[in-house]
Amino acid sequence: MSQEKLVNLWLTIAAFIFLAVGFVIKNLDCEMVWEWVCESKDFIGFLCSELGIAFFVALILIYTFEKNSRELDREETEKKVAKISENLFNAIYGRYIPDVVFSEVERSLFSTDIVRVNYSIDYMLVKIDNENNENNKISEKDEKSHFFCEINSAYILKNITDKEIRHTVVSKIEMPIDKELKNNVCFESFTLDGDELTKSDFGSCISTTEDENHMVFKKEVIIGPRSKVDIKMGLRTIRRKTDQEVWSSRLPSNGMTIRVHCPPSVNVQANGNHSTELKYRKISNNSLAKIQEWSIDGGIFPYQSIIFWWQDSENLL
């Protein structure tokens, strides 16, 4: 409560007591007053009783007044905050941001506790042959039309608050349409600050969606105030020789880099769902393998992504 309101409160109490005393004196007979004064105990008791009732009534009235005043102040403050938020971007950028747009920015960015840093993905397309197909029992037809795909991701999660955060790491991978190929999809490893998750704990983190179209990995991690953890994850799946992938971030990130490793006969292209152009770098291109890299060097909002697609020229023959 402000100093001005505190002074007004005590002045109001004093006024009520003064009025109560005046009311009591006005309604008393002078002779009766003199007799009570002579019998001081009765007079003092009566006076205290009347003043107590007056004080109690005053407190009720003041409480009601103060409560209504606080409600009015709160509503007025909320209106002022909303007005400030509305005019903040206008004052800085000369723009009026629609409420629905500002709400999305606030929800996905300003309200987040965790950000992702140095996000990199190595996406390896591997030809299926007799050697690596021995345990997978893939038909000859599927062998000619599919690649094994090994994916390794690495990043840092940073807690940007002053409190401990429990964050659930979630990774989702699409399952093949062909049921006989679904046993080629699995999460292989999860490492937290250099410590690899044991096989016994690993299984409890994996599930499939109700429609059985995705395999999901979930693991809760604890990140201290203003601290960070290092995450590495490996998984294996199977993809068609002409296919595509969309890789997005569920968290605000400072960028994203995808390196595609593939046979020389595979043509890969990429595009970014982002306001900036993808940066491209050819790392190697020889008779054994081709490695290409695409990256977004800038801030990424949740669910912005890199889309890349490929086609094997040998599969066209």
Q: Which of 27-36, 193-202, 292-301 has the highest mean pLDDT?
A: 292-301
Alpha helices of the chain — where are they, by DSSP H? Answer: 3-26, 30-38, 40-93, 99-105, 140-145, 199-202
The 8 Å CB, 24+ separation contacts for 207-214 are 208/175, 212/175, 212/182, 213/174, 213/175, 214/172, 214/173, 214/174, 214/175
Strand 165-174, strand 256-262: pairing: unpaired
pLDDT at 139: 82
Over range 173-191, report the average pLDDT. Answer: 90
Instruction: Provide the token pair at 119.
Output: 């996000």
Give the model's confidence band at 285: pLDDT under 50 very low, under 70 low, under 90 confident, else very high: confident
Angstrom distance (rounded) from CA 28 to CA 22 = 10
What contacts 59, CB < 8 A, 6 or more positions away? 13
Instruction: Provide the token pair at 91.
Output: 């004052």
Over range 5-17, report the average pLDDT. Answer: 59
pLDDT at 140: 81
Residue 212 has pLDDT above 90, yes or no: no
- 306 and 270 in contact (C-beta within 8 Å)? yes
Higher-confidence residue: 123 or 72?
A: 123
pLDDT at 20: 57
Give the model's confidence band at 180: pLDDT under 50 very low, under 70 low, under 90 confident, else very high: confident
Per 3-state DSSP, the chain is made up of helix, strand and coil in percentages (nearest 5) of 40, 40, 25
- 186 and 235 in contact (C-beta within 8 Å)? yes
> Model pTM?
0.70
The 8 Å CB, 24+ separation contacts for 292-296 are 292/259, 292/260, 292/268, 293/257, 293/258, 293/259, 293/260, 294/257, 294/258, 294/260, 294/270, 295/255, 295/256, 295/257, 295/258, 296/255, 296/256, 296/257, 296/272
Over range 29-44, report the average pLDDT. Answer: 54
Q: Is 275 helix (H, G, I), strand (E, B) or coil?
A: coil
Q: Within a 10 A sphere around the Cβ of 296, how many other Cβ atoms? A: 25
pLDDT at 23: 56
pLDDT at 50: 61
Over range 170-175, report the average pLDDT. Answer: 92
Among the listed ranges 133-142, 210-219, 290-299, which one has the minimum average pLDDT value? 133-142
